[in-house]
Amino acid sequence: MRIIRWIVALAVAAGIGFGGSVLWKSSLLELRRVEVAGNSEVSKEEVVAETRLRRGVHLLSVDTDAVAGRVRSNPWIDDVRVERILPSTIRISVNERTPVALITAITGTFLIDGNGVVLEQSQRDLLLIEDVTPEVVEPGTTLDLPQLQHVFEILPKLDPSLSARLKSVSARSVDRITFVLDTDTRILFGAAEEIEEKNFAARTLLKRAENDSKAIEYLDVRVPGRPAVRYR
């Protein structure tokens, strides 16, 4: 009886192995479709081109990590997930970076996200950050500059009465971070320190000038307890 059971088990194993071999060689597992989800800035065609996948390649031979790495090389792509969907589909889900500002450079105006990643050369209607003067600006590079980090920390906390009127930012250095309003009033804000106190000083002095029918040309709130004002 034991011998019979052993023979049956061997036959089943051989059958499974044979079936697996047949399935591996079957055209059912050839890549026929690539799905892309989560994209808006990058077209499906661009994402598919980055994968370098060939129609008809065996689905189980696709290195999903390598495909994800190639897609992630696009400056717009922050993260990506690549999945095999049997029998013949690869699904690519991407998370794109969010553009927050423009910076000026010798070679043009570039779009960047909140981490300083350069996305593309652009003329979009977004906040302009001037005077950064990075050495190299091209899509895919990260501008690891202290003044940019401080600007991105201040912006979400900037008083609404100021952010609603914000025209541009000058960020030559951390200490010289300056917000330019739509009236061309320049507010020298400095580092991302004592933000609430600086907000209060700027808001109070702008309101006082408005009540007195005066126009402020320059306002230094880097030391919020001792602000400096220059009127037009």
The pLDDT tens digits for 160-170 are 999 999 999 99
Segment 2-26 shows an average pLDDT of: 46
pLDDT at position 99 = 96
SS3 55: coil
Question: How much is the average pLDDT of 168-186?
Answer: 96
**Arithmetic mean of pLDDT over the chain:** 89
**Separation CA 117–CA 148 (nearest Å):** 11
Residue 9, pLDDT > 70, answer no
Alpha helices in 119-194 (DSSP H): 146-154, 160-163
* CB burial of residue 225 (10 Å; 0-12, 13-18, 19+): exposed
pTM of the model: 0.78
Q: Is the pLDDT of residue 21 over 60?
A: no
Q: Which amino acid is at 61?
A: S
Amino acid at 231: Y
pLDDT for the residue 6 = 43
pLDDT of amino acid 149: 95
| All domains in the chain, ordered by first residue | 29-96 (3.10.20.310), 99-231 (3.40.50.11690)
Strands (E), 22-150: 33-37, 77-85, 89-96, 99-105, 108-113, 118-121, 128-130
Structure tokens, 206: 């702008």
